[in-house]
Chains A and B, each alone.
Chain A
């Protein structure tokens, strides 16, 4: 499995990672080697085998629908890089035009 430069750039965009030129080249070769290794799984006949998502499976874990106290606002906002009026401040997401 050999990834192209374009593949690496596309994955980085999907993952919202800014990579340097050097990183793109490095990950192109390293990810290709790891994916090559993963092709070992093709040796297995997985026909009819059901997938395991969780080793110890639990289903439908419910709790009573009772309101409980939440963290105070200042504790929630304490780690925010930017905040105002009890809100997280970010750059504009939608154009004003």
Chain B
């Protein structure tokens, strides 16, 4: 039995029945990483010894009659999420060598559920990007075509899950950074409602948009990781103190009578025809399964991109002010204190500097109202679009990305072109919605296409179940 081809839920079954052990599965995955990751480049750090130790403990616990939702299951963590005693770089030279003194809350949750942590996956620097080309270390390759990107910023996690180098993974999604790489790599990626996941211990990019998300090869796998990681954390005052439903039990596959909205603004010029066809076919499949399809409008969709690219850089410029080389990270010594700070901050990569500059400008005296202030007001209109839509429908179906995976290097020098990659995903982050991407076919070059399902505030169970129903009946 090749253990790396099992899904997370199949492995869980095999561990529970005694058909295999966590040590066997962990060793199989670690061997697979050695064989495969030279090509794919999804891991920045592999914590093999620690993983095998955790696997042994998991097997011991099981032998003692214990069980927990992820007991002994190997998973990967995006390298923007702090792991105690394991280097956490956020894909940046400015955090190279940084070893966090604590685990992020979501990592604690996974460990408490019994998960084995395999290592840290590649990301665009500070999660700023859509291709991992902005990682200070290397670019993750698409498992379906290694000349193409895996997507980003959580491209390392998506590619690792797609290739059997992890049974599930954590990512973060500030503008689409879980859903877009999931779409490009043919896996399931969930971006929960803001506040469903704790951000404590997650390196901050844009604090009102950042949210931890989960990956799986199947909807059930993605749900299992989500179930374990979600929850209220008093250390993050924006995390929501609300009950966490049994998401796994909500995967019934029954979507009869559910109203699925199709927003006209997401089927626009510029979208790849093959993507449009696959997504429209997927929506027809939902109708076949008993859902009611409703044409809707999200009239301010076109403004989401300019709003996002003012708000996210503004928040980033404030968050990234902490990288001054004083308390952690490398320090580049200059003539005086200010000079040292400036020289240390020159370690940021080009995209991070660009966004810090943009945000600093948008917040600066004389321009605040014209840029940041207007963006906050326009955000109200975008949020309202969704609230209006969810009075008529239960879920919204769109493409995840306007294209399939693009070539490495194709648009890396054109920031605006790169930003347009997120045009269908970032409205979710600006609003109080949740969203996921589920594979819905391939284009003529055999590259995966993703269907995005958007749900109302805290309605993850609804979109996960629609994705599950679709997955079970996919052609």
Q: Which residues of A sit under 8 angstroms from B195, Cβ to Cβ?
A: 56, 58
Is the CB–CB distance between B361 and A54 below 8 Å? no
Question: In the complex the two chains form, is A38's CB within 8 Å of B310's CB?
Answer: yes
Q: Is the CB of B342 within 8 A of A18?
A: yes
Interface membership of B423, Cβ < 8 A: no
Binds A, one of B94-102, B393-401, B440-448: B94-102
| Cross-chain contact A17 with B342 (CB below 8 angstroms) | yes
User: When the two chains form their complex, are residues A15 and B337 in contact, meaning their CB atoms are under 8 A apart?
Assistant: no
* Residue A25 interfacial (CB < 8 Å): no
Q: Which of A38, A41, A52 has the most CB of B within 10 A?
A: A52
Contact of A56 among B102, B237, B300, B432 (CB under 8 A): B432
Question: Quick check: A92 and B329 within 8 Å, CB to CB?
Answer: no
**B306–A40 touching, CB < 8 Å:** yes
Contact B371 A38 (CB under 8 A): yes
Give the chain A neighbours of B431 by CB distance below 8 A: 55
A63 near B194 (CB under 8 angstroms)?
no
CB-CB < 8 A to A33: which residues of B? Answer: 415-416
A49 at interface (Cβ–Cβ under 8 A)? yes
Q: Does B336 contact A (CB under 8 A)?
A: yes
The size of the chain B interface, using a CB distance under 8 A, is 71
Contact B354 A41 (CB under 8 A): no
Place the interface of chain A in its size category: 35 or more
Counting CB contacts under 8 A, is B70 at the interface? no
Cβ contact within 8 Å between A27 and B345: no
A47 (CB) vs chain B CBs: closest residue: B377
Q: Kindly identify which residue among A34, A51, A63, A79 contacts B376, using a CB–CB cutoff of 8 Å.
A: A51
Closest Cβ of chain B to A12, distance in Å, is: 7
Q: Considering the chains assembled together, what is the distance between the CA atoms of A39 and B208 in angstroms?
A: 22
Knowing A23-B353, A31-B358, A76-B101 are in contact, say whether A16-B338 is a contact too (CB < 8 A). Answer: yes
Closest to A62 in B: B237
From A55, A61, A78, B237 is in contact (CB under 8 Å) with A61
Q: Do B380 and A34 touch across chains, with their CB atoms under 8 A apart? A: no
Partner of A92, one of B302, B324, B337, B379: B337
**Given A37-B416, A78-B101, residue A16 in contact with residue B345 (CB < 8 A):** yes
List, in ascending order, chain B residues with CB within 8 A of A34's CB.
Answer: 309, 358, 415-416, 419
- The residues in B between 332 and 383 inclusive whose CB is less than 8 angstroms from any CB of A are 333, 336-343, 345-346, 348, 350, 353-354, 356-358, 360-361, 364, 371, 373-381, 383
Check B238–A54 contact: CB distance below 8 A: yes
- Residues of chain B within 8 A (CB-CB) of A27 are 353-354, 357
Say whether B208 contacts A53, CB under 8 Å.
Answer: yes
Of chain B, the residue at the smallest CB distance from A93 is: B337
| Residue in chain B with minimal CB distance to A50 | B380
A37-B306 in contact (CB<8A): yes
Q: What A residues does B321 contact at CB under 8 A?
A: 16
Residues of A within 8 A of B317 (CB): 15
CB contacts (< 8 Å) of B432 on chain A: these are 55-56
**What is the 8 Å Cβ interface bit string for chain A, positions 57-82, against chain B (1 contact, 0 not)?**
01001010000000100011011111
A79-B99 contact, Cβ under 8 Å, with A37-B309, A40-B302, A88-B327: yes
Contact B416 A15 (CB under 8 A): no
Q: Is B234 on the interface with A (CB-CB < 8 A)? A: yes
Indicate which residue in A3, A30, A49 contacts B415 across the interface (CB closer than 8 Å): A30
Residue pair B345, A52 in contact (C-beta under 8 Å): no
Interface of A is mostly: loop
- Cβ of A44 < 8 Å from any Cβ of B? yes
Residues in A with CB closer than 8 Å to B429 are 55
Contact present for A56 and B342 (CB under 8 Å): no
Q: Known contacts A41-B375, A55-B431; is A30 also within 8 Å of B302 by CB?
A: no
Given contacts A44-B374, A46-B378, A78-B99, 18 further A-B contacts (CB under 8 A): A8-B357, A11-B361, A11-B364, A12-B357, A16-B324, A16-B345, A17-B348, A17-B353, A34-B416, A35-B371, A37-B305, A37-B309, A41-B310, A51-B380, A53-B208, A54-B208, A55-B430, A55-B432
Please list the residues of chain B having a beta carbon within 8 angstroms of any beta carbon in chain A. Answer: 97-99, 101-102, 193-195, 208, 234, 237-238, 240, 300, 302-303, 305-307, 309-310, 317, 321, 324-331, 333, 336-343, 345-346, 348, 350, 353-354, 356-358, 360-361, 364, 371, 373-381, 383, 415-416, 419, 429-432, 457
Which 7 residue pairs spanning A and B have beta carbons closest together? A51-B376, A79-B328, A81-B331, A75-B101, A61-B237, A18-B342, A46-B377
Q: Show 25 A/B contacts (Cβ-Cβ < 8 Å), sorted by A.
A: A7-B361, A8-B357, A17-B345, A18-B342, A23-B353, A31-B358, A31-B361, A34-B309, A35-B358, A38-B310, A41-B378, A44-B300, A44-B377, A44-B381, A46-B374, A46-B378, A50-B377, A52-B376, A55-B430, A58-B237, A63-B234, A79-B99, A79-B328, A81-B325, A92-B337
